[in-house]
Structure 1
């Protein structure tokens, strides 16, 4: 049987009577916003924790390979076909940074090597030079003005990588 009489302690306080309907939508919206924030935080952590660094390393390695091949092409093109009494200078343009870090291109005999602070970004390239080129020496720093100098030395040509 239903009692029409209410117990004294079960009534809501006067300030809550009639206004509880407005609270439910606000709580629902706050929960939705919290779920969206958690989702964005989780996705950001997942991307920056795994996918993005791998992509940056791969992209940096590709840029390093292209810079090394471009540098090799400039060096090979700077050697004149005439090997007698030659002095030739050619300016070379290189990327100022790879993956936001400075790098060096070092010549050692007939090979170029790219040195970068990130071990994942590196490379070597063998130069295709005429037989009268004795050696290639020197190094380039990124961000500096770079020049290839080919000079006659003895019975051959020496190619130097110079920063200005």
Structure 2
């Protein structure tokens, strides 16, 4: 009795089993630790960049000293950060990014001229947003709001 043909089949089955085991281990390792950690780091970085961009747009929206000030500047923000909605709001003279993930967020204070009396308002992600600047030479109001 000759069993040589059976050894080839067993060899192929063992090889396929080892390949499937390897793929399963690599997939488990990536999705169990590496990919979520990377996504969290990217979310944190995107949150920081979004807040920095919002701060820069607020600073740039204020025109030079003039008798009457009236300006509206559109601001583009990501719709989500790490797959979740967020908001940017004012807190006194600062901008604050609020996100459901406590790792993502931050606070920054725009460099505003002395003539700016009020910084107010809030932006919600996913909505078209603008910075509205109004007032006179000595008293300027800066407002974060949704575009109408």
TM over 0.5: yes
**Structure 2 residue aligned with 1:158, among 116, 141, 144?**
141
Distance between the aligned counterparts of 1:73 and 1:154, measured in 2?
Answer: 22
Distance between the aligned counterparts of 1:114 and 1:28, measured in 2?
Answer: 58
Distance between the aligned counterparts of 2:28 and 2:55, measured in 1?
Answer: 40
Query: Could you say which residue in structure 2 is the equivalent of 1:86?
Result: 69
Query: Could you say which residue in structure 1 is the equivalent of 2:10?
Result: 27
The answer as to 2:113 corresponding to 1:130 is yes
Query: Could you say which residue in structure 2 is the equivalent of 1:142?
Result: 125
Structure 2 contact 85–99 (Cα < 8 Å) conserved: yes
Distance between the aligned counterparts of 2:67 and 2:144, measured in 1?
Answer: 20
TM-score by length of 2: 0.91
Offset of residue 85 of structure 1? 2.5
Query: Could you say which residue in structure 1 is the equivalent of 2:46?
Result: 63
Instruction: Give the 3-state SS of the residue equivalent to 1:124 in structure 2.
Output: strand
What CA deviation, in whole Å up to 9, does each residue of 1:85-123 have, x standing for no partner? 322100011112211221111112211111112111111
Q: Which runs of 5+ in 1 are unaligned?
A: 1-16
What is the number of residues matched between the two proteins?
147
Larger Rg: 1
Bigger RCO (CA 8 Å, 6+ sep): 2
Distance between the aligned counterparts of 1:157 and 1:108, measured in 2?
Answer: 17
Distance 1:108 1:84, change over 3 A: farther
The answer as to 2:78 corresponding to 1:100 is no
